[in-house]
């Protein structure tokens, strides 16, 4: 078994959607990784019946196969989470193309001639709000 694609996000209790390929060449679409009270687990694709109840369209009879699928999906979910976090941290450490603007510090009347920075707080009025 191999996970073909995994779309991660947060849709209620659903943490990811993924497709599963078998060694024989079958691709089963619509599996979900669910956040339950005991942790993450795999839910097979389901379809709504005429009575309004959802029923699994793929049945996994073997407990060992279900456990293997759960472990495969959770490992893939965690591996891609770490990879995405590393990619984001790499992107954040690269220097930006735009140069930083110098900090604007107000000067009081006494320090204007000397060019010294002061630490007096700046007050804002209703006219300063842009909306």
Name the pTM for this structure. Answer: 0.59
11 domain residue, yes or no: yes
Query: How confident is the model at residue 1, as a pLDDT?
Result: 87
Domain, as residue range, for 66: 2-79
Counted domains in the chain:
1
**What token pair was written down for 125?**
């009025």
77 touches 5 (CB < 8 A): no
Question: Which stretches within 28-121 are classed as H helix?
Answer: 63-93
Integer CA distances (angstroms), 99 to 38, 51, 93, 95, 103, in order: 49, 62, 15, 9, 12
Give me the residue label for tokens 């220097």: 95
Asked whether residue 92 is domain-assigned, the answer is no
pLDDT at 91: 47
Q: Is residue 125 part of a domain?
A: no
Residue 126 within a domain: no
> 3-state class of 90 per DSSP?
helix
What pLDDT is stored for residue 34 in this prediction? Answer: 94
Q: Is residue 85 part of a domain?
A: no
pLDDT of residue 90: 47
- Give the 3-state secondary structure of residue 100: coil
Q: Does some domain include residue 59?
A: yes
46 lies in some domain: yes
Number of residues that make up the chain: 131
Q: What is the CATH number of the domain that holds 38?
A: 3.30.1120.40
Q: Is 42 left (phi over 0), alpha (psi -120 to 50) or beta?
A: beta
Note down pLDDT in tens along the chain; length 131 residues.
Answer: 899 899 999 899 999 999 999 999 999 999 999 999 999 999 999 999 999 999 999 998 899 999 999 999 999 999 865 655 555 544 454 544 555 555 555 555 555 555 555 555 566 666 666 65
Residue 38 lies inside a defined structural domain of this protein? yes
User: What span, in angstroms and rounded, lies between the C-alpha atoms of 52 and 84?
Assistant: 38
């Amino acid at each position: 078994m191999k996970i073909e694609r995994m779309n991660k996000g947060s849709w209620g209790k659903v943490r990811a959607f993924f497709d599963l390929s078998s060694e024989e060449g079958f691709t089963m679409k619509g599996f979900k990784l669910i956040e339950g009270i005991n942790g993450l687990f795999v839910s097979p694709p389901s379809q709504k019946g005429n009575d309004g109840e959802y029923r699994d369209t793929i049945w996994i009879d073997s407990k060992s196969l279900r456990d293997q699928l759960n472990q495969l999906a959770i490992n893939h979910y965690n591996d891609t989470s770490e990879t995405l976090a590393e990619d984001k941290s790499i992107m954040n450490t690269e220097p930006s193309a735009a140069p930083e603007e110098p900090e604007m510090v107000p000067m009081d009347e006494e320090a204007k001639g000397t060019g010294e920075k002061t630490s007096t707080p700046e007050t804002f009025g209703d006219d300063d709000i842009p909306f």
